[in-house]
Amino acid sequence: MNYSYLGDSNLKVSRICLGTMHFGRVTSEADAFRIMDRALDLGINMFDTANVYGNRGGTEEIIGRWLAQGGGRRERIVLATKGYGRMSDLEWPNEENGFSAYRLHRHLADSLRRLQTDHVDLYQVHHFDRHVTGEEFWGTLEAFVQRGDVRYVGSSNFPGWGLTKFQMLARQRGFLGLVSEQTQYNLLNRAPELEVLPAAAAMGIGVLAYMPLAGGLLTGRQRAIAGTRTAQVEAEYAQDLAHSPQLEAYSRLCRIIGETEAAVAIAWVLSRPAVTSAIVGIRTLDHMDILERAVTLELDEETLARLDELFNINSGRPLKPGPAPEAYSW
């Protein structure tokens, strides 16, 4: 496994980050335990989750029970989680999505309890909130760090201008600020290249690219099974696996260079400037097999140029109505 520093921090993280969104939803707890043990064997030291995963808290609870087994598990990983989203069906003003000291203090306390740990290494704001002030944003997150509940702070689904705004405010306060930004980025969704990646690079923020396989569209599948995540993403990306000349050409290119579609897709993401790590959401233990090759695969200039021809910024996921980041993020 290869490692990189996360943004301007001195924290080293694996170039592959284990995404845990499927744990407790489509992946059983027993299988999740095996996947996490295998990740450690591969040298993956960064595990990413969120309080909303697994039907609001279920994924964090699974990770907490895995950590509770001991054996140095907690000490060997950089544990990342997120807060922001609705955690209750109560129709009450402060149960809605959004950033506030009121919500985030409770969200973090609940995450620590579910994860069975006294701190998280990276606490991320899951979505961008246009209403929160810089004073409340950084006052809340700085308190978490000063208290020892959080080591580093990151963001997720932020626009480039949002990264710049909050990073400049952090520097004015003498605070390290954001060390990471999670953004949806892959060959079929290159919109982050317009503003997110350049802003992150300029502001000392490491990019954690989620969905590097575009939800399964870039794995060489011939069709998507109804009801699966791939079928959902097929609609979101306006793709038809059974009739996609673009994806067929991609598979042909991968066959020519003798690599799997999945390994090439992840390797391409890791080759991009500003990207620190690719978050791969694993559903089954078999899916772990692609990660070793993906992290060591270096694509030559000819292959990179051909990929740029096949997947230019105008040929991928259509932008949704509205401003960034909602236009391109989850």
* Percent above pLDDT 90 for the chain: 77
Going from N- to C-terminal start, the domains of the chain cover 3-310
What confidence tens digit (pLDDT) does each residue in 213-267 have? 999 999 988 776 666 778 888 878 878 787 889 999 999 999 999 999 999 999 9
Cβ proximity of 224 and 216 under 8 Å: yes
Q: Give the pLDDT confidence score for residue 228 in this predicted structure.
A: 73
| Distance in angstroms (rounded) separating the CA atoms of residues 13 and 179 | 12
Residue 63, SS3 per DSSP:
helix
> Which one has a higher pLDDT value, 292 or 76?
76
Residue 74, SS3 per DSSP:
helix
How high does pLDDT run on average in the chain? 93
User: Strand (E) positions, 126-274?
Assistant: 150-156, 178-184, 206-210
Tell me: pLDDT of 55 over 80.
yes
Over range 151-155, report the average pLDDT. Answer: 98
Considering 53, 84, 185, 210, which one is annotated as catalytic?
53
The domain made up of 3-310 has a fold known as TIM Barrel (3.20.20)
What confidence tens digit (pLDDT) does each residue in 73-95 have? 999 999 999 999 887 887 788 77
Predicted TM-score of the model (pTM) = 0.92
| Distance in angstroms (rounded) separating the CA atoms of residues 111 and 144 | 13
Q: Give the pLDDT confidence score for residue 227 in this predicted structure.
A: 66
Active-site residue, 84 included? no
Tell me: pLDDT of 135 over 90.
yes
Tell me: pLDDT of 147 over 90.
yes
Q: Is 8 exposed, middle or buried (0-12, 13-18, 19+ CB in 10 A)?
A: middle
- The residues with which 281 forms a beta bridge, in sequence order, are 19
Name, in order, each residue with C-beta under 8 angstroms of 297's C-beta and a sequence gap of 6 or more: 259, 263, 264, 266, 267
Query: What is the token pair recorded at 277?
Result: 């790590």
Q: Quickly count: other Cβ atoms within 10 Å of residue 169's Cβ.
A: 16
Q: Are strands 16-19 and 78-83 parallel, antiparallel or unpaired?
A: unpaired
